[in-house]
Structure 1
């Protein structure tokens, strides 16, 4: 059976890389939206709203076609404060100092839209992330690498040199921007099945033994 077209509503290199692990063939067509949070908007509602808006915006370009639109949004939450992508070195420095040696939450929302049937399915993944007590010198070196500027909270959990995270609970892939097991269970609702063994591919590529993948696929509220 011919699979419907899949459109990733993102220009993120990490999301493209990770979506390729599923074995699905896909195209990219990003949405250009104002990503500012609404006043007092909780983190889960914020990422869900943005992911949904991205999916609906891109879906308008494919009205009536047998296409799935996949959108995602990620934010770092420190208490009630949302930390998005730092605008400059000063903001990245402030974020990294604020998060240093403490635990925060990373929220990633998925939105998968069946354009032909006008059905939007969503899911949210929440992970607990504890940062190590890295030094100011390490922060400056990391900023000089240019890596913080396209990442919520100003860091990449997978960065081989900086290695900012010392403890973790939830979905590792979600902190990178695309919770793949959550995506698989969402897509299963419309019988859109990935060709590859997604949990295995994810763990192999991330070199990470995930303790929650089966619970996620079973529909449990973990991660």
Structure 2
């Protein structure tokens, strides 16, 4: 990576900023604004990959000509249904009750766009998320914090009090919005190696012993 090249994160998410910082790269944040409406017949995979690419391209006109732009989109999937952000508290309650006590999937698409030659690489991470059987009272208490209202599926996996997830065997960072091992292996294809031990830093930050990082970094897994 040359001295003039700069990573750009096309997201306003503080969680994504926190995760990308684990690589110890210098990066800028340029907020993207794209229509997130699902297209007719669009699969969850196609949906998150399309939006990730759209977010990266949306900020290209504001970025350094040598920039490498990272776009990401995360969706909560229950069966074939894409569950977005709740419209209001009642919608958040509906979503949380729909998801409790069963396993859903989180799809995160990543698109990395190199301005200098227009090359775009994409990654998809799919993680099973088993939710615990939390009570109606816990749902109401969590909604009163305001935290669910800007979250896909109306929850944050890392919320210290609610802690909605029972257990996991996949990429925790992906559920937070940015699967860092996927980002690392994609940036390496563009000759941008990490400047830190990302798997170790990620597990320390999330207090999570990740069972999939090695397989992802070796290219043997997408989960």
- TM category (shorter chain) comes to over 0.9
The match for 1:151 is: 151
Q: Shift in Å at residue 221 of structure 1?
A: 2.5
The match for 1:193 is: 193
Q: Shift in Å at residue 3 of structure 1?
A: 5.9
RMSD of aligned Cα (Å): 1.1
Q: What SS does the corresponding residue of 2:59 show, helix, strand or coil?
A: helix
Structure 1 stretch 22-31 or stretch 177-186: which is displaced more?
A: 22-31
Aligned equivalents of 1:41, 1:103: Cα separation in 2: 22
Aligned equivalents of 1:110, 1:3: Cα separation in 2: 23
Alignment pair present for 1:168 and 2:168? yes
The match for 2:101 is: 101
Aligned equivalents of 1:160, 1:3: Cα separation in 2: 40
> In the alignment, is the contact (CA less than 8 A) between 1:170 and 1:222 conserved in 2?
no
Q: Shift in Å at residue 169 of structure 1?
A: 2.7
> In the alignment, is the contact (CA less than 8 A) between 2:4 and 2:66 conserved in 1?
no
Q: Write out per-residue CA displacement over residues 157-199 of structure 1, whole angstroms, 9 at most, x where no aligned residue.
A: 1111001001223200000000000000010111101111100
Aligned equivalents of 1:61, 1:160: Cα separation in 2: 36
> In the alignment, is the contact (CA less than 8 A) between 2:86 and 2:149 conserved in 1?
yes
Alignment pair present for 1:15 and 2:5? no
Q: How many equivalent pairs are there?
A: 222
Q: What SS does the corresponding residue of 1:123 show, helix, strand or coil?
A: strand
Q: TM-score, normalised on structure 1? A: 0.97
Q: Which runs of 5+ in 2 are unaligned?
A: none
Aligned equivalents of 2:198, 2:63: Cα separation in 1: 27
Q: TM-score, normalised on structure 2? A: 0.97
TM superposition outliers: structure 1 runs of 4+ over 2 Å: 60-63
Alignment pair present for 1:32 and 2:27? no
Q: Which runs of 5+ in 1 are unaligned?
A: none
Q: What SS does the corresponding residue of 1:76 show, helix, strand or coil?
A: strand
Q: What SS does the corresponding residue of 1:168 show, helix, strand or coil?
A: coil
Q: What SS does the corresponding residue of 1:77 show, helix, strand or coil?
A: strand
> In the alignment, is the contact (CA less than 8 A) between 2:124 and 2:222 conserved in 1?
no
> In the alignment, is the contact (CA less than 8 A) between 2:11 and 2:31 conserved in 1?
yes
